[in-house]
Copies of this chain bind each other. A is one copy, B any other.
Amino acid sequence: VPYRYTYPRPVLTVDAAVLGYLMGGGLMVLLIQRKLAPERGRWALPGGHVRMNESIDDAVGRELEEETGLANVKLEQLQAFGAVKRDPTRRSVTVGYFTLVKLSDHRVQAATDASAAEWYPLTRLPELAFDHCEIISVALQRLRERTRTQPIGFALLPTKFSLTDLQRVYEAVLGRSLDKRNFRKKVLALGILQELQELERNVPRRAARLYRFKPAAYRTAIQNGIYFDV
């Protein structure tokens, strides 16, 4: 039974830019290969149609899980993308979302409308469907703003990490190098890091001390925001 409306309606979709950090590889984004038209076979952000009985926030979480297996991820809305020709085959409007995940936490796996799901480095993206390249660039912009007010590094790193790891994350996100001494001073001053009695293993140099974030202080920081001007 087709659905009938007095006036035409654009298709409404949601898309998720899920970012992760690969040690030694920089920022990564999770892509799927489309199994269906339009843009069949091309790489794209996970996403899909909004159903009538779910909010757009719920829709993007569902689509992400369906297509990549990533579940229980809290996504933040970026904005709507509504250029007339963004989908050459029909009028569609999408709402972009983004989030940060630890690569180590998630083994991604293609499913439903995706024939593959893979992490790609932001610096070497394949040709993407629709305006997904623009969505990713808005996500990156948002992430850069976020560094000032949220402890983003900890969403991206494994539980235990060295201060150098953390600095590399910030350098990858901001796209510039930072002063080691000043970075450590500032990040330790936030008071959300706990020094562990543990060092890196199997490195061909002096092993770095490992840290983790203090869960309570970290939650407070997330909620109240921080002021971290690197």
Q: B-contacting residues of A (Cβ < 8 Å)?
A: 2-12, 49-50, 52-57, 59, 77-80, 82-84, 91, 93, 95
Contacts and interface: CB of A to CB of B under 8 A. Distances in A.
A50 B91 CA distance: 11
A46 to B, nearest CB: 18
How many protomers of this protein does the assembly include?
2
Contact of A4 (B2, B7, B50, B82): B2
B10 A50 contact: yes
Given A79-B77, A93-B50, A95-B82, A9 B9 contact: yes
A95 B2 CA distance: 26
Contacts of A53: 84
A209 B77 CA distance: 45
A53 B8 CA distance: 11
Contacts of A9: 3, 5, 9-12
Contact of A55 (B7, B59, B82): B82
A7 B52 CA distance: 10
Contacts of A57: 82
B55 A83 contact: yes
B10 A91 contact: no
Contacts of A4: 2-4
Contact of A3 (B5, B12, B50): B5
A120 B8 CA distance: 34
Given A12-B93, A93-B12, A93-B56, A7 B49 contact: yes
19 contacts: A3-B4, A3-B6, A3-B7, A5-B9, A7-B49, A9-B11, A10-B50, A52-B91, A53-B84, A54-B84, A55-B82, A55-B83, A56-B80, A56-B93, A57-B82, A59-B82, A80-B80, A82-B95, A93-B95
Q: Which 5 A-B pairs have the closest CB atoms?
A: A56-B82, A2-B4, A9-B9, A80-B80, A3-B8
